[in-house]
Amino acid sequence: CYAPAHHPAMAKVGPVRRRVGKPTVFNLVGPLCNPAPVTVQVIGVGRPGAEEAVARAAQLAGLQRAVIVSSEDGVDEVGLFAPTQVIDVSSRECRKLYWTPEDFGIRTASGSKRKDLLVANAAESAACIATVLFGELGPARDVVLLNAAAVLWAAGSAASLPEARGLAEQAIDTGRAKQKLHDLVKFSQQAER
């Protein structure tokens, strides 16, 4: 998390959050404190009932568009195992939507596939990401496609969710996504110096 580096007050909150050991209001506030000058953002909310408050905060923050997503199974992203509650936020209105993986052209996965997404540490997470970027099919790729498609749709790069999913697939299959990750890692390493 980069919040402590860009928002010094958040550095003081970190140790308290870790001691509490469960999600706090800072889990909701953190994504809204993006230090980058973004105009469009997809924000995941894992706390049922908090979506509207986050949507209103995104609207007040002046984003041109925010898409708030909360999977019905409690995951703070577009869900592969359950439908996703969505609030599409612009400066003028908030529209409530309801997405299923099928809306993107992906089949809802059975709960037994959840174990394929579990990682114990950063190294396992990096290995899982690598399998997706090297083209391995499965639930990890599907989750990446769903959420990348949500971002592409929110940004206006695609007119529909299936079209957005297709763009995400192309980025993975052509190696562009892998190259973009490599560029990001290189940039972040230079920024740390």
Please provide the DSSP assignment of 54-90 as one string.
Answer: HHHHHHHTT-SEEEEEEETTS-SS--SSS-EEEEEEE
**Single pTM value for the model:** 0.85
Average pLDDT over residues 83-89: 97
% of the chain residues with pLDDT over 70: 82
With a cut of 70, say whether residue 95 has pLDDT above it: yes
Listed range (69-73, 75-79, 92-96) with the worst mean pLDDT:
92-96
CATH (domain of 115): 3.40.1030.10
Residue 12 maps to a domain: no
User: Would you say 35 and 49 are in contact if contact means Cβ atoms under 8 Å apart?
Assistant: no
Using pLDDT thresholds of 50, 70 and 90, give the confidence band for residue 37. Answer: confident
Q: Given this model, what pLDDT does residue 80 score? A: 98
CA 60 to chain centre: 20
Residue 154 structure tokens: 């929110």
Listed range (145-154, 160-169, 181-190) with the worst mean pLDDT:
181-190
User: Would you say 130 and 105 are in contact if contact means Cβ atoms under 8 Å apart?
Assistant: no
Residue 148 maps to a domain: yes
Residue 87 maps to a domain: yes
With a cut of 80, say whether residue 112 has pLDDT above it: yes
State the residue range of the domain holding 169: 38-192
Q: Given this model, what pLDDT does residue 74 score? A: 92
Cβ-Cβ contacts under 8 Å for 24 (sequence gap 6 or more):
17
% of the chain residues with pLDDT over 90: 68
Q: Given this model, what pLDDT does residue 174 score? A: 97
With a cut of 70, say whether residue 17 has pLDDT above it: no
Phi, psi of 70 (to 5 degrees): -150, 110
Residue 64 maps to a domain: yes
Cβ-Cβ contacts under 8 Å for 94 (sequence gap 6 or more):
52, 55, 56, 59, 87, 88
With a cut of 70, say whether residue 13 has pLDDT above it: no
Using pLDDT thresholds of 50, 70 and 90, give the confidence band for residue 4. Answer: low
Q: Which residue has the higher pLDDT, 69 or 112?
A: 69
CB atoms within 10 A of CB 50: 17
Domain count, the chain: 1
Q: Given this model, what pLDDT does residue 70 score? A: 97
Q: Given this model, what pLDDT does residue 5 score? A: 55
Cβ-Cβ contacts under 8 Å for 75 (sequence gap 6 or more):
44, 46, 81, 82
